[in-house]
Structure 1
């Protein structure tokens, strides 16, 4: 039996910088990502747990233009969100390498919220959307379809990194997971990409790497330390505390 076609994932998190990271990775001549960045194979409503590795590879093949790359990956950020998806990926390729790029949970949630507003799929003010989230998601805990409330309105849930890492490390060893931060990619992209190339086991691309700004949402940011910022950090206090206690993820202004 041949090895699985997909050997690494940019598996999260949504609005964490996955588009920029995927664009930098895709520029490497030995690496191929789906032409639309996100294949959404493991969260597809038609996914069948009985599919073999060959079945999954055949479905992945239609997402690629390159046929002879050294490494094939996928950059679908919802994969980290749900334990069922992580379990499916582990069954497909226990040796899968995961790259995660994290962002302060409040800033990630605000960016996600404004994306849904721009798409016409959110009408509540930000504070109320956060307050109502658990009720909105209650009946959709296992619905990973693109139109489900779990996909659209999981502002706090997607920022609960400790919970997601707990699940991921239950299926994959730590040395198959590379955790990055959004601010690091923004401020020192060359250093971050050097870590990515080493993690993937490829040489850096020849010549000077270009790391342009890829996407920035046009919405009003929260002022760090301001009254509204402190209120939203208070709302996220349990998630933030768990990230520090279990994974040493501090989100001070200097660290993130």
Structure 2
């Protein structure tokens, strides 16, 4: 068995949902995208030490399929991109690569929610405000530089091996976008996928610390007591006492932070859009696309070329 394709992301752009749809094609075998452990193997990045036997085990249930692949967004990060490319080139130089991107501001908001939802498991306590998070967690912005990130792959793999998708297109017309993806992979593009409304790992499901939990973690008297509790006890309390709550309100963007983010990602996003056949107004890349009240105004999107 070999790896025929990889979905490197980008992170928080719908990779999990895309892989779940691809897995419904009868010719495609992907490790269970509904399983929290199997959905992102990350083998060619930070799990390489586990060895090939553990990796191939993930494909036990789909070994008879014609094509095999997986999706791991860590592959497209600045930290692991280079080593992933080298390992793929060594073992699977003919592999096909599928990237999926979305509006940079939407990706950053999703990343912000994700850090609040799962960061505590890895000892990360993200700031309560997105402007503070962006300045203290620089990888949030680095992983939004789509054009810069994809160059790591383009330096070794030909453009004919790379397909770029856009989450906005996939949500608007999933049947057409999936057919194009199947054609790129070389499987029957006429297969109809029933579950095109799959939305896995969505932002609506993410949780953040309540005010009570924030107090327990930050107060100089309460914090030592909280930290001394066994992890299982803390998790039980967070669940039973509702100390972790879903995001209920839109994320607030200070105008100055929006302008600063545009300075950081604007040119990169425009190059990415232009190279992959999208108009520069496909995403919100100028301040005039935001209202003074802080609500997002989406531009009218044109159909993909």
Scaled by the length of structure 1, the TM-score of the pair is: 0.78
| Distance change >3 Å, CA 255–CA 241, structure 1 → 2 | farther
State the alpha-carbon separation in 2 of the partners of residues 195 and 206 from structure 1: 11
CA shift, 1:255, in A, is 3.9
| Distance change >3 Å, CA 94–CA 206, structure 1 → 2 | closer
After superposition, give the CA deviation of every residue in 1:52-109 in whole Å (9 maximum; x if it has no partner). xxx74x4431101122100000111111212222222222211110101101122111
Partner of 1:116: 115
Partner of 1:180: 165
After superposition, give the CA deviation of every residue in 1:87-133 in whole Å (9 maximum; x if it has no partner). 22222211110101101122111111111112233331211111123
1:67 to 63, 69, 89: 63
| Distance change >3 Å, CA 231–CA 90, structure 1 → 2 | same
Check if 1:92 corresponds to 2:91: yes
Matches within 5 A, 1:27-106: 27-35=24-32, 36-47=38-49, 56=52, 58-64=53-59, 65-81=61-77, 82-106=81-105
Between the two structures, name the one with larger relative contact order (CA 8 Å, sep ≥ 6): 1
Partner of 2:258: 232
* Deviating more after overlay: 70-79 vs 246-255: 246-255
The answer to whether the 8 A contact 2:130-2:251 is kept is no
CA shift, 1:28, in A, is 0.6
Matches within 5 A, 1:145-184: 154-184=139-169
Check if 1:128 corresponds to 2:132: yes
The answer to whether the 8 A contact 2:31-2:62 is kept is no
| Distance change >3 Å, CA 247–CA 214, structure 1 → 2 | closer
After superposition, give the CA deviation of every residue in 1:10-67 in whole Å (9 maximum; x if it has no partner). 111111001110110000111111122221111135539xxxxxx74x4431101122
CA shift, 1:222, in A, is 5.1
Question: Could you list the runs of 5+ residues in structure 2 that have no partner in the other structure?
Answer: 33-37, 205-246, 285-298
State the alpha-carbon separation in 2 of the partners of residues 10 and 209 from structure 1: 21
Question: Could you list the runs of 5+ residues in structure 1 that have no partner in the other structure?
Answer: 49-54, 135-153
SS at match of 1:156: helix
* Deviating more after overlay: 122-131 vs 211-220: 211-220
State the alpha-carbon separation in 1 of the partners of residues 137 and 27 from structure 2: 42
Scaled by the length of structure 2, the TM-score of the pair is: 0.67
| Distance change >3 Å, CA 123–CA 247, structure 1 → 2 | closer
SS at match of 1:212: coil
CA shift, 1:238, in A, is 3.0
| Distance change >3 Å, CA 130–CA 27, structure 1 → 2 | same
Which protein has the larger Cα radius of gyration, Structure 1 or Structure 2?
2
The answer to whether the 8 A contact 1:11-1:98 is kept is yes
The CA RMSD measured in Å over matched residues stands at: 2.4
* Deviating more after overlay: 207-216 vs 161-170: 207-216
